[in-house]
Amino acid sequence: MAKLILIRHGQSTWNAANRFSGWVDVPLSHLGRLEAIAAAKKIRNYRIDVCFTSLLVRAIETSAICLTECEKTCAGKSPVFKHNASDHHWHGWDNYEGDKSQEIPIFMCAKLDERYYGNLQGLNKAQTTEKFGEDMVHEWRRSFVKRPPGGESLEDTAKRTIPFFQNRIFPHIKDGDNVLVSAHGNSLRSIIMYIDNLSIEEIPNLELATSVPIVYDINEQGKVTSSVII
C-alpha cells in the first residue's frame, strides 16, 4: 500500500501580509520555515521515495525542508532536484555519476503551480473584500468555476493538475512508491477533489492549512483505503 502525502507550503511572506500571491514567486516567511520543520517531524515515520513540487520557491523550500529536517524520512538518501532538460533556460550541467538509488528525486513542474490570480495578484485581501464585497471575493477564492479578473478558476487549475497527477504522480503510487507532493492551496484542492471524488458543491468548504500534511493510503488500482491529517 503506497502513501501519498500532500502538503501545502508553509506561510509565505505574502501570506503573512494577507496579499494574493498566485504565480508571484515569493519565499517562505520565518514562520513558514518553522511550519515546514514541524511538518517534517510529523512525516518522519513515513519513508519518501519521490517528491513532486511546483516551480514556485515557497513550495520548493517546503519540500526541501521536509526532506532534510528528519533523517528517518530520507533513510540516508539525498534529495536531488530534477530540472527539466527541455527547458531552454536550463544549462544542462547537472549530469553526474554514482549510485542514483541513494537519492530522492524532486521533480518540479508548473502544472502544480498555484492558481493564477490575475488582476488580484499583489492586492491585500482585506482591502479587496472592502472594494468588491465579501461574497464576490469568497466566490473568486473558493468556487470551482468562478474566475478572478484576468485569472484562473479552480476548474482551469484542475485541467492541468489532475492530468499531471494521473500521468506523472500516480504511476509512482502504482509501483508502490511513497510520494510527497509539496504545492499550493488551490492546486492541491483540485487534486483532492479528484482523489476524494468531491462534488462542485463541496469545494467551497475545502480549506487547507499551511504545512499540515494529509496522508493517503492508495492501492495499485488507485483506490483510497484511508486518509489522515497529521
Q: From CA 18, how far away is CA 127, in angstroms rounded?
A: 10
61 is catalytic: no
- In the structure grid, which three cell numbers stand for residue 201, read together? 458543491
In the set 35, 61, 69, 114, the catalytic residue is: 114
Q: From CA 218, how far away is CA 28, in angstroms rounded?
A: 30
Backbone angles phi, psi at 168, to 5 degrees: -115, -40
114 is catalytic: yes
In the set 9, 61, 69, 152, the catalytic residue is: 9
Active site residues: 9, 114
